[in-house]
Amino acid sequence: TQTTRPQRMLAAVQKNATRGDPRSVVKAIDQFCRQKEWAMNVGDEKGCILDSVVTEVNPATVLELGTYCGYSTVRIASLLPSNAKLITLEFNPDYAAIARQVIAWAGLEDKVQLVEGASGDWIPKMKEKFGIETFDLVFLDHWKDRYLPDTKLMEECGLLRKGSILLADNVICPGTPDYLEYIRNSPRYKSQYFKSHLEYTKVEDGLEKSVFLG
Ligand code: SAM
Ligand code: MG
């Protein structure tokens, strides 16, 4: 019978990763994507940049836009202190079902709240539904034309405080030109590019890290 790529990625985790060991989950997915099938995870190379930002910010509240199979969710959540909370949004129910199992395999379900639905619908409800005041860190990795409208929506909804960090993936490939233009020129942000490569390839891509100045 036919399986999907996310199902095959989950099978690779169940076969090769140790339950309760997030790094073994990350490693199993990276191996699958390098040896078997490319997939749209942030990947090992940019993943190291993501890890260093999470460690530096040491956030208590994190929002991830775009869960897919939970690869970056596992990377981020494994670096959070025990009281911290990561909310991750995914609008594809098939991907969300896989991600729940990947996150559980890593033993991180207590730190992660996976919310199914579209970012534009959930961002305005963060305060009311999840008691979030502001996010310390937001990882933007959903569809690229949503980075800019969702950033403006987070501003309007008061979800960013002075010092909140936005970290945006794939700003070069596939690229987010309207977002980069905004974030680099707005006096409300201080922004920095981290050059790297598109996941599992040698094509240039990078992460944009932006501090909200209030
Ligand atoms: N962050 C993941 C990782 O590195 O492992 C990869 C995320 S993948 C590049 C983007 C995901 O965002 C897809 O699974 C897609 O279904 C989801 N998505 C795209 N637009 C969305 C939106 N507006 N709201 C919620 N999910 C969205
Ligand atoms: Mg990405």
The secondary structure element, H or E, covering residue 148 is helix 147-156
141 is catalytic: yes
pLDDT, tens only, 49-93: 999 999 999 999 999 999 999 999 999 999 999 899 999 999 999
Ligand 1 site-directed mutation target among 91, 103, 170, most atoms within 8 Å of CB? 91
From the candidates 41, 85, 170, 208, give the one annotated as an active-site residue: 170
How far away, in angstroms, is 19 Cα from ligand 1 center?
A: 25
Q: Is residue 30 very low, low, confident or very high in pLDDT (cuts 50, 70, 90)?
A: very high
pLDDT band at 1 (very low <50, low <70, confident <90, very high): confident
Structure tokens, 163: 């010092």
18: which DSSP letter? -
Residue 111 is a catalytic residue: no
- ipTM value for the complex: 0.99
Does the annotation mark 58 as catalytic? no
Name the residue at shortest CA distance from atom 14 of ligand 1.
Answer: 68
Cβ within 8 Å of residue 110, ≥6 positions away: none
**How many Å apart are CA 17 and CA 12, to the nearest integer?**
8
